Each structure stands twice: as structure tokens, then as C-alpha cells.
Structure 1
């Protein structure tokens, strides 16, 4: 496996985790949004990852991870009795997104650690390449 393959694989992981962090940020920012342009409260979004591993027969061309889809949650909304709210129904109940800020923070921590793991792979590949160049220079 070449250094370029290693860097390509790590970069796909970093890009996927970056998108995941962006979705988490949007979820947290919209955790109280009761009205969207699509109608109704905001729906939580999450990235679905898929392996791009093509196997050794193609020298790992296209290996890594890709975002297969951005999934929109279909979980029921949280409801609160707030008759003065402009989005309250006839019974005074307001529907809020079913977003758990604690769960989102756990997901954010996980995405950050996965991103850092890919950075560690890049650093290791760089160290290996530097060592190989040092060996060639000595001889």
C-alpha cells in the first residue's frame, strides 16, 4: 500500500467526520425550532457511512469511507403545553424537535475522536515516508 493510498483513505474518513460534525451542529442549533420551511418542527439529521473498500485486486483504489446518505429522523416530536406559543395547536400543544443535546454532545465527541484518529494515521504515514527518505539519503 502506498503512502498516497493511506492518505487518500484517511482523508475520506476526515471528510466524513467533518460532515457529521456539521450535521450535529445543525441539530443542536435547531433543537428549539418549531417551524421550518418544509412545515413543522426541525427533524434531526445524521450521516450514514459506507465503506468504499474495493479490495486488494484494485490496489485499494477508491478505498475509504463515503457518506451514503443523510438520514432524517422520523421519531415522534416532543410536545409541550404552551398555549401562548405562536405554533401551538388548538389544544395549546407545541411540537418540538426530538433532539437530545446530551446525545448530540456524545456524538460530537465520537466524531472528534474519529477525526483525530485519521489525523494520527496521516502523521504516521508522514513519519514512515520521512524515515524512508532518511534511509535513502544515508546510503
Structure 2
């Protein structure tokens, strides 16, 4: 019985972690054209005591920002360049798809564990 309940909490932690990942991906996409914006990344780690997954700290991608030539831009320096963002939309869309698929897999696991719990309770009532 506790295994069924723990599987619910493990699946829920996976859904929560992937939802947080999707939030950061959507922030990255929304700020792709913001000058000086560094892409946010998040890693996950296993929870030792209860199983499941826990999001790690949010980190800023320290890769080099793109240099954009636009002499009329208010942030442009004397040479006409300013720092753009380091967001690659192709990478962000791929990350969003991966996070969505992981979320869906955890949701299916959660639903199956819930159905098994219901079936077990129905058997025990008889």
C-alpha cells in the first residue's frame, strides 16, 4: 500500500520539477530579444529520503552574449554594437518538448497509480 502512495508522490514530484523547467524555458523564450539577458537553466537531483526528483538551483548560462550591430540602438557603444541575449530558440523549443514529454509520462504514471489505489480500495471493501 505504501508503495502505491509513494509512487504517487514520486510522479507528483516529477510533474512539479518539469513544470518548473517549463516556466524557465518560457521565460527564456520571452526574453530572447532582451539585451543582456542570460538564459536560465535548471538541473534536477534525486531526493534521497522519499524518492522522486527535486529541482536544483536556477543557474544563468554564462556563455557569451551575441554582439548585435545597430548604431541607432540606445544601448549601442561607440562602434555601434550592443550585447543581445544568449538564448537559442531551437534549443529552448527542444527543451520545452522534452519537459512536456517528461511531464506527460509522470502524469500517466500518477494516473495509473491512482487507478491501482482505487482498485485496491474496492477490493478491500468487499
TM-score of the alignment, normalized to the shorter chain, above 0.5 = yes
Q: 1:130, CA displacement in angstroms?
A: 2.2
Quick check: 1:134 aligned with 2:122? yes
Q: CA deviation at 1:119?
A: 0.4
1:52 pairs with 2:47? yes
The Cα of 1:81 is off from its aligned counterpart by: 1.0
Q: Higher relative CO (CA 8 A, sep ≥ 6), structure 1 or 2?
A: 2
CA distance in 2, matches of 1:65, 1:90: 48
Structure 2, unmatched stretches of 5+, are: none
What residue is the counterpart of 1:21 in the other structure? 22
Matches for 1:1-139 after TM superposition, within 5 Å: 1-34=2-35, 41-54=36-49, 62-138=50-126
Q: Structure 1 residue 114: deviation in Å?
A: 0.5
Q: Structure 1: which 5+ residue stretches go unaligned?
A: 35-40, 55-61
Q: CA deviation at 1:126?
A: 1.3
Q: Which runs of 4+ in 1 moved over 4 A?
A: none
Aligned residues: 125
**If the length of structure 1 is used for normalisation, what is the TM-score?**
0.84
Query: TM (normalized to structure 2)?
Result: 0.92
Q: CA RMSD in A?
A: 1.3
User: What is the DSSP-based 3-state SS (H/G/I as helix, E as strand, rest coil) of the residue aligned with 2:15?
Assistant: helix
* C-alpha distance in structure 2 between counterparts of 1:44 and 1:98, whole Å: 6
